[in-house]
Amino acid sequence: MFTFDNSYVRELEGLYVFGCAEPKVAPRISRLNYSLAEELGLAPDELDSPAWAQYLSGNAVAPGSQPIAQAYAGHQFGNFVPQLGDGRALLLGEVFDGSGHRRDIQLKGSGPTAFSRNGDGKAALGPMLREYLMGEAMHRLGIATSRALAVVETGEPVYRETALPGAVLTRVAASHIRIGTFEYVAARSDFPLLKRLADYTIARHYPELQGQPYIEFLRAFSMRLAGLVAQWMGAGFIHGVMNTDNMALSGETMDYGPCAFMEHYDPLAVFSSIDRRGRYAYGNQPAIAQWNLARFAEALLPLLDEDGERAVELATQEVDAFAGHYRGAWLSVMRRKLGLKREEEEDASLADGFLEAMLAGEADHTLAWRSLADAAEGGESLFGLFVGNREKLDAWLPRWQARLAREERLRDGIAADLRRTNPFVIPRNYLVEEALEAASNGNMEPFDRLLDALAEPYAENDATRSYALPAPREHTACYQTFCGT
């Protein structure tokens, strides 16, 4: 059983309302994440019980849990909404994992709350399984993320365009404090609450900064955000809805809605059906992160300096500095992806050169990077991937080979590093769709096999090989993901 310790409830009155889940007639555990359960100190067979089906559906309140819906605001596609909040989620409380880290346990899809507006507070099975899968994939790629502990089928339909099976996801996150949480307080000009929220967030996620000026907090978050987005870019991940209410102060990726991994490299790639103007396109993500950071900085202004003008000056400097933090984080991701340990002035242009070659060659992003391992050893598996113009690749390769020579390391060592850095398997959209389609017809086998393959994204073996290939181009050209509501 969890041992809850609910610091959010204790310390942040004014930022939540108590709530209770809507009763479900016949909850049934669909999927359990045993490795995460173990991290949380739960015995795997403990979870797999009727009592837990009750807890994880919201039908029963576990001892020590104080379910709340958190209040937050947010900029959605650029427009400020002063009150959003958990419209279909309940924070059950916090627990300490095996490493002593405080983690939130949240139910998503548990029923309406005070923040539901016109929504039904529910979630459908497909999108919840999708969130489970994407979170695990990101985690195994070494990217900070919230994760799913369980998916419970409610036994009741939810009504979208059609009737769909309902589900509740149990989400585990470092916290659910968002940029939008700060915006909520700032919009109400509640200075004491702003200070409490900032102090709470610092103690929880940036404890080394306690007692420091708040500008250090802004800077530390900026650097964490830069690092996170650089990793997304390296992996070809497109979040899809980088609204400020979906950006966690912990630096974890959260709220997997219409997210997707890119197949062939394209900075303009957008898959989300609700992102009609491409605001959250792959190549826009760093700039949007900075835009979001600016919204966070604005919310923090009263804490930065008593003198309003001076506060704006300080905030502006930090927001401007994001570009440099991002560039640095991106460059270190790129160096690893290129097999470089030493640092040279030209490395950024080398990375750009490869991306340009990929663009011209219409190459699959994941496999092009992956094939560098082979190319470092003199292999030619790269070439078949560049189905478009290959001139840029042909010009680039000798440049990279010359650069590798200056590493003064053995080629098989470099190749081994590259195989630990550039994944072989990512959750390709067509595979995710196939798995979810089968799941919606009651067949979980494709989902489980895909999940297994994604658990070892760097391995090339019989389990992973059938998941490594790109989708037929006709599929990617018109592929769209729909918001998980």
Task: List active site positions.
Answer: 245
Q: How far is CA 428 from the centre of its chain?
A: 16
For the segment 146-185, give every residue that binds Mg ion (CB under 5 A): none
The beta-strand segments (E) located in 366-453 are: none
Contacts (Cβ under 8 Å, ≥6 apart) of 262? 236, 237, 238, 269, 282, 365
Q: Binding of Mg ion at residue 255 (CB under 5 A)?
A: yes
If the CB atoms of residues 93 and 121 are measured against ligand AMP, the closer one turns out to be 121
Burial class, 309, CB count within 10 angstroms (exposed 0-12 / middle 13-18 / buried 19+):
exposed
Contact partner at residue 121 from Mg ion, ligand AMP, none, CB < 5 to 8 Å by partner kind: ligand AMP
Considering the rule CB under 5 A, would residue 104 count as an interface residue with Mg ion?
Answer: no
Q: Which of 202, 223, 241, 262 binds ligand AMP (CB under 6 A)?
A: 241
Per-residue string for binding with ligand AMP, 192-231, x by CB under 6 A? ----------------------------------------
Distance CA 145, CA 135 (A): 6
Closest residue to ligand AMP, Cβ-based?
Answer: 119
Cβ neighbours of 62 (radius 10 Å):
18
Which window, 46-54, 228-236, 242-250, 313-321, contacts Mg ion (CB under 5 A)?
Answer: 242-250
- Amino acid identity of residue 74, one-letter, is G
- Binding of ligand AMP by 122 (CB under 6 A): yes
Residue 227 tokens, joined? 């690092």
Give the count of residues interacting with Mg ion (CB under 5 A): 2
Q: Could you say whether residue 87 binds ligand AMP (CB under 6 A)?
A: yes
Choose the binding region for ligand AMP from 97-105, 138-146, 241-249, 434-442 (rule: CB under 6 A): 241-249
As a whole number of angstroms, the distance between CA 231 and CA 235 comes to 6
Look-up: residue for tokens 């490594």?
468
Tell me how far, at minimum, the Cβ of 150 lies from ligand AMP, in Å: 19
Number of residues that bind ligand AMP (CB under 6 A): 17
Instruction: Please provide the distance, in angstroms rounded to a whole number, between the alpha carbons at the two ends of the chain.
Output: 30
Q: Could you tell me which stretch among 79-87, 133-141, 259-267, 473-481 binds ligand AMP (CB under 6 A)?
A: 79-87
Closer of 21 and 358 to ligand AMP (Cβ): 21
Instruction: Supply the minimum distance, in Å, between the C-beta of residue 124 and Mg ion.
Output: 16
325 binds, among ligand AMP, Mg ion, none (CB under 5 to 8 A by kind): none
Which residue in 120, 216, 298, 347 binds ligand AMP (CB under 6 A)?
A: 120
Number of Cβ within 10 Å of residue 482's Cβ equals 16
Between 246 and 429, name the residue whose CB sits nearer to Mg ion: 246
Q: Give least dist CB 293 to ligand AMP, A.
A: 19
Nearest distance from residue 234's CB to ligand AMP, in Å? 24
Within 10 angstroms of residue 43's Cβ, the number of other Cβ atoms is: 11
Minimal distance, residue 255 CB to Mg ion, in Å: 4
User: Nearer to Mg ion by C-beta: 104 or 255?
Assistant: 255
Distances from the Cα of 49 to the Cα of 25, 44, 149, 236, angstroms = 16, 10, 14, 38
Q: Please select the residue that binds ligand AMP; options are 22, 136, 183, 255, rule is CB under 6 A.
A: 255
CA distances from 483 to 211, 256, 257, 406 (A): 41, 9, 5, 47
Q: If we measure between CA atoms, which residue out of 15, 11, 19 comes closest to residue 92?
A: 19
Proportion of the chain in helix, strand, coil states, percent, rounded to 5:
50, 15, 35
Q: Which of 13, 20, 144, 165 minimizes the C-alpha distance to 86?
A: 20
13 by Cβ neighbours in 10 Å (0-12 / 13-18 / 19+) ranks as exposed
Please tell me whether residue 107 adopts helix, strand or coil conformation. strand
- If contact means CB under 5 to 8 A according to the sort of partner, which of Mg ion, ligand AMP, none does residue 85 touch? ligand AMP
Q: Which two tokens stand for residue 423?
A: 């994944």
Q: Strand 260-261 relative to strand 237-238: parallel, antiparallel, unpaired?
A: antiparallel
Contact between 246 and Mg ion per CB under 5 A: yes
Binding string, residues 200-239; x marks residues near Mg ion by CB under 5 A: ----------------------------------------
Q: Based on CB atoms, which residue is closest to Mg ion, 106 or 464?
A: 106
Q: Is 275 in the site for Mg ion (CB under 5 A)?
A: no
Written as six digits, the tokens of 122 are 């529910």
Nearest CA to 156 among 122, 118, 113? 122
For residue 267, what are its two tokens?
A: 């900075």
Least separation in angstroms between residue 109's CB and ligand AMP is: 8
Q: Which of Mg ion, ligand AMP, none lies near 136, with the C-beta cut-off 5 to 8 A by kind?
A: none
List, in sequence order, every residue forming a beta bridge with 157; answer none if it has no partner: 165
In whole angstroms, what is the distance from residue 353 CA to residue 346 CA? 10
* Contact residue for ligand AMP among 2, 21, 56, 86 (CB under 6 A): 86
Binding interface with ligand AMP (CB under 6 A):
84-88, 115-116, 119-122, 241, 245-246, 255, 257, 485
Give the interface with Mg ion as residue ranges (CB under 5 A).
Answer: 246, 255
